[in-house]
Amino acid sequence: MRILAGLLSVFLLGAPASANVAPPPVDAPEWAAQTVGAFFENFNAGSVEGIASTYSDSGNFVWVENGAVVYSDKASAVAGMKERLAATPGSRIEAINGFQIVPAAPGAAEVVAPITLYVKDAKSGEEKAMLSGIMTLLLAFENGEWRIVSGHTSTAVSMR
């Protein structure tokens, strides 16, 4: 009987405490992962509109590849993505072992993702790894949502 009373006491005292645990606020960096997930999902689905919805409208958007600025605004990045996806239908990005979220400042986070880009062979339809590297995305919390402000991919050989 004592054991049952003890368990009941632990439950009654512990349950209210665990019920008061709130999830992190939506402006917490952990929520940036949802936008990054949406970016990957839309890329893999070939949805240019979906990709564009993950990009910032702040006017500060930039995309860098292997040390060069490829797109200096959202409109050119969306147009470039449309061209690339049309040229390589069925291409897919996979994050190798997930990604890391690094809080950068209040309302800002960096996401670091080792990636592999896969493309489908036009004749056989077989998927093949085209390149591997790293992708970093800087996100800002704006107008109640996390959005990608800048992106960077690098497929250069390690200097280690």
Single out the residue of 126, 140, 4, 150 nearest to residue 77, CA to CA. 150
Single out the residue of 43, 57, 48, 142 nearest to residue 93, CA to CA. 43
What's the number of CA atoms in the CB half-sphere (13 Å) around residue 17? 6
Domain ranges of the chain: 24-154
Is residue 104 exposed (0-12), middle (13-18) or buried (19+ Cβ within 10 Å)?
Answer: middle
- pTM, two decimals, is 0.80
The SS3 of residue 141 is strand
Question: Each residue of 55-98: pLDDT tens digit?
Answer: 999 999 999 999 899 999 999 999 999 999 999 888 999 999 88
Fold of 24-154: Nuclear Transport Factor 2; Chain: A, (3.10.450)
Separation CA 15–CA 127 (nearest Å):
50
User: What is residue 30's predicted lDDT score, i.e. its pLDDT?
Assistant: 83
Confidence of residue 6 (pLDDT cuts 50, 70, 90): low
